[in-house]
A = this chain, B = another copy of it.
Amino acid sequence: MKEFKDLCHEARSVRRFEDSPVAPEIVNEIITLACEAPSGLNKQPWLYCIVSDHDLKNVIRTACEKVETEFYNKINQKRKEAFQKMNITIKKPFLTEAPYLIIVFGDNTAPYYVESVWLSVGWFMLAAKDKGLSTLTYTPENMECLNKLLNIDDNFIPQVILPLGYGEKKGKKVRKPFDEISKIF
């Protein structure tokens, strides 16, 4: 069993996943824990879609890479360089390599639905790490196509795609010093 602080140290954005399968029960357990998070007026305004179907992952990858291409064509040089520095390109192999894509929607009829969903996504990441799994908060600029592809009502707004599987990122986390991210009163 890992200490909580080690989960925080080890949970990182991972873009390469191993081939190894993940039991569906583990995925359900992670999502169940993520959905124990508090939310505005306890509306629990999240919908976690669990995609493991190979063909559907392929369709999602194609759609996202199309969005990425359009996005890259319009951003400025500085932004492109920032992506390059992080080894981020328009190719998103993790969308087909990860055994699961967890696609999270937020119900826009609930107050603070964006905030609530992302708090829950924070719990999801740590719950995944507690099971030895990794993920990534992947947010293509435009995710509207996901409603059509998954047949989800329009009041549910796509928030993030979370590829989920076994994978690691080596190296040290670069963190701002404490006095840069806090102020004491």
Q: How far is the CA of A29 from the CA of B5 in the complex (A)?
A: 9
Contacts of A159 in B (CB 8 A): 115
Residue of B51, B118, B130, B183 touching A150 (CB-CB under 8 A): B183
Instruction: Say yes or no for A92: interface residue by CB 8 A criterion.
Output: no
This protein's copies in its complex: 2
By size class, the interface of chain A is 35 or more
A45 nearest CB neighbor, chain B only? B181
A23 near B: Cβ within 8 Å?
A: no
A interface with B by C-beta (< 8 Å): 1-5, 7-9, 11-13, 28-29, 31-33, 35-38, 40-42, 44, 46-53, 56, 82, 86, 112, 114-116, 118-123, 125-127, 130, 137, 139, 150, 152, 159-160, 173-176, 178, 181-185
